[in-house]
């Protein structure tokens, strides 16, 4: 692997968490602060990734097993890491990635009920152990997230609510295992408040100026760090989620 000098940030969350628009705002804020940022999404951003994304999300593709899904998502990620993420990090850039390995763990592992320990090992090895320095998990209850998504749902969004509840619980379990890397933000707060939390956390971590050590997935679970939970702030009205287009990404 090329020497890593940049800083790698991922945004994660269930449907309707507003993560993609938060990712865009974060990129804008970092650029305004004079940082060089590569903005990508997983799956997507590479030619192969865009094709895989169409296959994976197309509502007409039926009967795909969770394992097939997982391996296709991982394949797209390998390409993304090699083609865009590693070269950008080697140049000292900040990489902001909309979803990454934790999505496979939450959606296919917990949601699809695959063997999560196996998936953790395979998924990490496939990308040479390149894990984010910081992951912002925008958490929203399943029902509230669905209300935000509306009626036009892709293949993943059409899965049963039980699947989406499992994946949300899966995300929170991942955050308990790696509380330093994965910060949970209450995404039911007003959009501007969520953006403030996201930017504060990222800017604080960047000022620390060091890359966090890779956590051993076998470490004992600890409570996740939750920012802006019920105790920390008012729950705001539902926010509208604008769907990103492919043009929003790949601005390297």
Q: Which is nearer to ligand ATM, 110 or 197 (CB)?
A: 110
* C-alpha–C-alpha distance, residues 219 and 75, integer Å: 27
Q: Which is nearer to ligand ATM, 159 or 205 (CB)?
A: 159
Q: How far is the CB of 104 from ligand ATM (least distance, A)?
A: 3
Q: How far is the CB of 250 from ligand ATM (least distance, A)?
A: 13
Q: Residue 32: phi, psi to the nearest 5?
A: -60, -30
Q: Which is nearer to ligand ATM, 35 or 148 (CB)?
A: 148
Q: How far is the CB of 60 from ligand ATM (least distance, A)?
A: 15
Q: Which is nearer to ligand ATM, 57 or 206 (CB)?
A: 57
Show Cβ contacts of residue 100 under 8 Å, excluding neighbours closer than 6 positions. 10, 12, 42, 77, 132, 135
* C-alpha–C-alpha distance, residues 229 and 51, integer Å: 38
Structure tokens given for 173:
């379990």
Sign of CA dihedral 207, 252, 137, 5: negative
| Interface contacts to ligand ATM, rule CB under 6 A | 15, 20, 41-43, 57, 73, 98-99, 103-104, 107-108, 154, 156-157
**Which of 11, 13, 42, 17 lies closest to 146, judged by CA?**
17
To which residue do tokens 């949300």 refer?
A: 168
* C-alpha–C-alpha distance, residues 62 and 192, integer Å: 38
Q: Which is nearer to ligand ATM, 61 or 208 (CB)?
A: 61
Q: Which residues pair with 39 in a beta bridge?
A: 96, 251
Q: Rounded to the nearest 5 degrees, what angle is found at the Cα of 167, between the Cα atoms of 165 and 169?
A: 70
* C-alpha–C-alpha distance, residues 71 and 231, integer Å: 40
Q: How far is the CB of 22 from ligand ATM (least distance, A)?
A: 11
Q: How far is the CB of 190 from ligand ATM (least distance, A)?
A: 21
- Count Cβ atoms within 10 A of the Cβ of residue 141 and give its class: 0-12 exposed, 13-18 middle, 19 or more buried: middle
Q: Which is nearer to ligand ATM, 7 or 171 (CB)?
A: 171
Q: Which is nearer to ligand ATM, 77 or 193 (CB)?
A: 77
Q: How far is the CB of 43 from ligand ATM (least distance, A)?
A: 6
Grouping H, G, I as helix, E, B as strand and the rest as coil, residue 226 is: strand
Q: How far is the CB of 204 from ligand ATM (least distance, A)?
A: 25
């Amino acid at each position: 692997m090329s020497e890593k000098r940049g800083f790698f940030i991922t945004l994660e969350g269930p449907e309707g968490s507003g993560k993609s628009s938060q990712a865009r705002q974060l990129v804008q804020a970092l650029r305004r602060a004079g940082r060089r940022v590569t903005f990508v999404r997983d799956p997507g951003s590479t030619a192969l990734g865009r094709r895989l994304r169409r296959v994976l999300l197309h509502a007409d593709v039926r009967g795909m097993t969770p394992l097939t899904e997982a391996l296709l998502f991982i394949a797209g990620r390998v390409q993304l890491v090699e083609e865009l993420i590693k070269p950008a990090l080697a140049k000292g850039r900040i990489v902001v990635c909309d979803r990454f390995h934790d999505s496979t763990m939450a959606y296919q592992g917990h949601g699809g009920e695959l063997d999560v320990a196996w998936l953790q090992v395979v998924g990490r090895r496939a990308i040479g152990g390149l894990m984010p320095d910081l992951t912002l998990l925008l958490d929203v209850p399943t029902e509230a997230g669905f209300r935000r998504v509306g009626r036009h749902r892709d293949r993943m969004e059409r899965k049963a609510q039980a699947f989406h509840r499992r994946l949300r619980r899966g995300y929170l379990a991942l955050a308990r295992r790696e509380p330093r890397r994965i910060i949970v933000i209450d995404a039911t707060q007003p959009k501007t408040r969520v953006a403030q939390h996201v930017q504060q956390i990222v800017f604080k971590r960047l000022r620390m100026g060091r890359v966090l050590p890779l956590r051993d997935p076998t470490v004992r679970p600890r409570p996740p760090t939750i920012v802006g939970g019920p105790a920390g702030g008012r729950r705001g009205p539902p926010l509208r989620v604008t769907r990103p287009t492919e043009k929003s990404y790949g601005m390297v």
